[in-house]
Amino acid sequence: VSFLLIFRSIVGRNERLTTIDMLSFEFKNPVKLIFGEGQIEKLKEEVPQDAKVLILYGGGSVKKNGILDQVKVALKGNYYEEFGGILANPEYSVLVEALEVIKTKNIDYLLAVGGGSVIDGVKFLSSAALFEGDNPWDILSKRIRTEKGMPFGCVLTIPATGSEMNSGAVISRSEIKEKLSMGGPGLFPQFSILDPQVIATLPLRQIQNGIADAFVHVLEQYVTYPVDAWLQDRLSESILSTLIELAPRILEDPKDAKAASNFMWSCTMALNGLIQKGVPSDWGVHMIGHELTALYGIDHARTLAIVLEPYYKHQFEQKKEKLAQLGTRVFQLSGMSEEEIARQTINKIIEFMHSIGIPTKLSEYTDDYDGVDDIIAKRFEERGWLKMGERKDIGPAQVRTILQQSY
């Protein structure tokens, strides 16, 4: 899955809804997934013996919970260096320091031990390490697609983003309050190890975030217009239903092994490209949400929860057929008109966010929201992001209206 493609909202046709067929597609996902309890030791079989490895991690959770020790034991036959401190919303200035280490130590293999933030940071480094231009920021600001990156693997420590099985990344630069995406076929991990036991030490807030992020990933690829992609629709619906089923269990007890493994696999499946094939996708909620993280530092998943309701209400006419299908099949709504079911489905989505403890109004995160609609609309204008959404009908003016309803 090319993240650049995803975020460009590939398709926007305007034919009558019911006459559109499944779209043509190509699908290649080369990531080797190694899933299950106790699988981290398999690292030694995946990282080449002669590789000069840089192990990268976040703010230190992997030291406290013993994951980093497990990684080091598995890599004891290898040459490796370490680089910690890639915090949530991976920061360009920190990554530039890591790039220095890669160059001075002649590193040729990267290992991300963390969540979306560390993995995305490593994807940036994978690209930047082989980048021939002068300024690696260009990869983000000029949206340069990465055809070939330095090889890397992942040990996932938090289910949420799907970054472990896709080729996209999102990088922040706080000095200019930017958060931009990048990607390309060169940025798939060589392998990703998914041990659901890592969930046991996650703070409640991060479990809530993971559920919400994966849920919205599916929505972005599903709540568009029907193209008679029966299988993709049912795959999406089953991920949503699984998340709804496991949410109360994993929130109650992160050591619940059944809920943990289903949680982890659902998050990966939500954004590894499969459910997006042959169907239109939107990604407008993410694009607006990223701006809220850039401006306020609000957790990624929570920004999505803020944007969802006003976004779907604004796009109601365009999205009501899929909303109604979602309401009928996932939320078991019936006995109303299709239009009413579609409206109730938006309420159900918001109720679900509340049920997992995620506030959905911007004012619940900051008091400083006056004028944010103008700031973000202007940014979209400047970047030329004028035609977002599956129908390319969302531009700066629509973004402004949507944000005005988010406070």
Interface with ligand NZQ (CB under 6 A): 58-62, 65, 87-89, 114-118, 120, 157-158, 160-163, 166, 168-170, 198, 201-203, 206, 209, 213, 271, 286, 300
Nearest to Zn ion by Cβ — which residue? 213
Q: Which does 121 bind (CB under 5 to 8 A by kind): ligand NZQ, Zn ion, none?
A: none
Backbone angles phi, psi at 405, to 5 degrees: -95, 5
285 interacts with, out of ligand NZQ, Zn ion, none, CB within 5 to 8 A per kind: none
Q: Which is nearer to ligand NZQ, 299 or 390 (CB)?
A: 299
CB nearer to ligand NZQ: pick between 210 and 327: 210
Nearer to ligand NZQ by Cβ, of 164 and 309: the residue is 164
- Is the torsion defined by CA of 277, 282, 285, 287 positive or negative? positive
Residue 59 vs 226, nearer CB to ligand NZQ = 59
Q: Interface with Zn ion includes 233 (CB under 5 A)?
A: no
Name which of 115 and 310 has its Cβ closer to ligand NZQ. Answer: 115
88 binds, among ligand NZQ, Zn ion, none (CB under 5 to 8 A by kind): ligand NZQ
60 makes contact, choosing from ligand NZQ, Zn ion, none, with CB < 5 to 8 Å by partner type, with ligand NZQ
- Rounded to 10 degrees, what is the CA torsion of 220, 116, 4, 101? 170
Residue 120 or 213 with smaller CB distance to Zn ion: 213
The secondary structure element, H or E, covering residue 372 is helix 372-383
Residue 162 interacts, among ligand NZQ, Zn ion, none and using kind-specific CB cut-offs from 5 to 8 Å, with ligand NZQ
Of 27-35, 130-138, 208-216, 236-244, which segment contacts Zn ion by CB under 5 A? 208-216
Answer with the entry of ligand NZQ, Zn ion, none that 185 interacts with (C-beta below 5 to 8 A by kind).
none
List the single partner that 89 binds among ligand NZQ, Zn ion, none, CB under 5 to 8 Å by kind.
ligand NZQ
Q: Which helix (H) or strand (E) holds 269?
A: helix 257-270
- For the CB of residue 41, give the shortest distance to ligand NZQ in the complex, in Å: 17
Closer residue to ligand NZQ, CB minimum distance, 75 or 94:
94
| Interacting partner of 226 out of Zn ion, ligand NZQ, none (Cβ under 5 to 8 A depending on kind) | none
Q: Give the integer Cα–Cα distance in Å for 247 and 352.
A: 9
Nearer to Zn ion, 40 or 271 (CB): 271
Which one of the spans 3-11, 28-36, 144-152, 213-221 is the region binding Zn ion (CB under 5 A)? 213-221
Minimal distance, residue 46 CB to ligand NZQ, in Å: 20
Residue 213 interacting with Zn ion (CB under 5 A):
yes
Positions in the binding site for Zn ion (CB under 5 A): 213
